[in-house]
Structure 1
Amino acid sequence: MDTKFSASEQILSSDIGDEMVMMDINLGKYFSLKGPSGRVWELIGNGTTVQAIFDVLLEEYDVEAEQCQQELLALLKDLHDAEMIVAAG
Structure 2
Amino acid sequence: MWTKEANVLETDLGDEMVLMHAGLGEMFSLNDSGRVIWQALPATEDTLEQLLITTYGLDADQARADLRSLLSELAHRTLIHQH
TM-score scaled by length of structure 1: 0.83
Write the distance in 1 (CA, Å) between the matches of 2:10 and 2:28.
9
Identical aligned pairs, as a percentage?
A: 29
Amino acid at match of 1:31: F
Unaligned runs of 5+ in 2: none
Unaligned runs of 5+ in 1: none
SS of 1:18's equivalent in the other structure is coil
- Aligned residue for 1:5? 2
TM-score scaled by length of structure 2: 0.89
RMSD of aligned alpha carbons: 1.2
Superposition deviation, residue 15 in structure 1: 1.7
Write the distance in 1 (CA, Å) between the matches of 2:73 and 2:46.
18
2:34 maps to which of 31, 34, 37: 37
Superposition deviation, residue 56 in structure 1: 1.2
Higher relative contact order (CA 8 A, sep 6+): 1
Note if 1:54 corresponds to 2:71: no
- What is the count of residue pairs matched by the alignment? 83
